[in-house]
Structure 1
């Protein structure tokens, strides 16, 4: 089974990190990653998301030609999910969607720790659209820009750990969802400082996308 992670932004180093985490999570799958070179360097809010969609769509014919079985949109805002799903030849899942649903399936009430405040309304709208707003205690903005998170320097790690600790103390939750693709490589380090279960959407999508592929194939045979 072949999964394609599309990074909606144009930062290739983030694509590389996402693919590495996905391969660690699902070692039996063929996982590749493409970067939307027409996208903004980071997606921070709805305007950046809207600017990325055309570039993602341009990659879809090549995805079909490459024999991709499922596409994962590797932006926590699930950038262009409905439009890309409608246009793609295969199942499409977003890393935000995957993280929310995995948390719900595991029975966890959760909070989301994300980047800037501009992303909070997008995430809250997605939770409502997926019918999972009731599972989420709070969407928390760390105040870090996406590329600050991606750089993974000590002050950014400390700030994320602080926000996770506040969520654990205040929100009455069992899990915290890491609300940015750039946080995926930080999950292990951040887990060491909390009793919460940390859920990363990149890994969550690697677990859930194969099930979507199998379900799609079963429905086609029926």
Structure 2
């Protein structure tokens, strides 16, 4: 089984970190390939970044010419594009936001998301609402750290996560979710200190993708994700 994991930004180092986390979660016989968009934001940290990222990821998958794959994992937490990718490709598509929330709902009645900047909270809340899992979300809490800041100082990142995690627990969260693919691997360092299960969206998405492929399931083409007419799929580039 081959899973393509798409980074939502153009930072290759982050793609490599995400792939390491995905491979750690993958079962025997699963190959994980990382895909970095050729253009777009260096880090997706707001509405404009997110829309640009969605177009870049769709373009990367539309023009992909590597080995065939069995599933796609979208490794952008709260980023746009999930529905478009499901319309574009003929394999299961699992978004880390949706995957983490679904698994969190199996572990406790309410979950909290600990993310990067506060400005990301709105689009994460909207993504959870669209996925139908917002009702169980107690809070989305920012750490105040940018996406590219996460790897610079692991001790600072852990301290910021613990502080935000405490706030989420006070808001009623019984489970925590890593609200950025760049946080992959942090759950091992914070679970015991917080006394709560912590779900990594990258690992959750990989396991759900494996399950869908093993069960022979893929995106329904009845209605919402029906293939668009050929003329709608003809992408062009602006002149000039």
Structure 1, unpaired ranges of 5+: none
- Say whether 1:44 aligns with 2:45: yes
Q: Tell me if the contact between 1:149 and 1:156 (Cα under 8 Å) persists in the aligned partners.
A: yes
- Counterpart of 1:90 in structure 2 is 91
For 1:73 and 1:218, how far apart are their aligned partners in 2?
15
2:70 aligns to what?
A: 69
Q: 1:146 aligns to what?
A: 147
Matches of 2:118 and 2:14, distance apart in 1: 21
Decide whether the 8 Å contact of 1:17 with 1:185 is kept in 2: no
Q: Give 1 or 2 for the bigger CA radius of gyration.
A: 2
Per the TM alignment, residue 27 of structure 1 is displaced from its structure 2 partner at its CA by: 3.4
SS in 2 for 1:112: strand
- Counterpart CA distance in 2 for 1:148 and 1:175 is 24
Alpha-carbon distance between aligned partners in 2 of 1:2 and 1:98, rounded to the nearest angstrom? 18
Decide whether the 8 Å contact of 1:104 with 1:135 is kept in 2.
yes
Query: 1:173 maps to which residue?
Result: 173
Structure 1 contact 91–212 (Cα < 8 Å) conserved = yes
Q: TM-score, normalised by structure 1?
A: 0.91
Write out per-residue CA displacement over residues 174-203 of structure 1, whole angstroms, 9 at most, x where no aligned residue.
201110011112221122311010011001
Which deviations, in whole Å up to 9, do the C-alpha atoms of 1:94-127 show, x marking residues without a partner? Answer: 1111101111233441011111111111111111
Report the counterpart of residue 17 of structure 1 in structure 2. 17
Q: Name structure 2 gaps, 5 residues minimum.
A: 221-240
- Structure 1 distance, partners of 2:122, 2:163, is 22
Match of 1:187 in 2: 187
Matched, 1:198 2:194: no
Structure 2: how far apart are the matches of 1:145 and 1:90? Answer: 32
- Of residues 193-202 and 86-95 in structure 1, the stretch that sits farther from structure 2 once superposed is 86-95
1:207 matched to 2:212? The reply is: no
Structure 1: distance between partners of 2:137 and 2:97: 13
- Equivalent residues of 1:64, 1:89 under 8 A apart: no
List 4+ stretches of structure 1 deviating above 6 A: none
Q: Deviations over 1:116-145 (max 9, x none)?
A: 111111111111112212111111111111
Q: 1:111 is paired with a residue of what secondary structure?
A: strand
In 2, are the aligned partners of 1:73 and 1:79 still within 8 Å (CA)?
no
Distance 1:167 1:37 in 2: 36
**Displacement of 1:158 after TM fit?**
1.1
Asked if structure 1 preserves the Cα contact closer than 8 Å seen for 2:40 and 2:52, the reply is: yes
Aligned length in residues:
219
Contact in 1 for aligned 2:139/2:173 (Cα 8 Å)? no
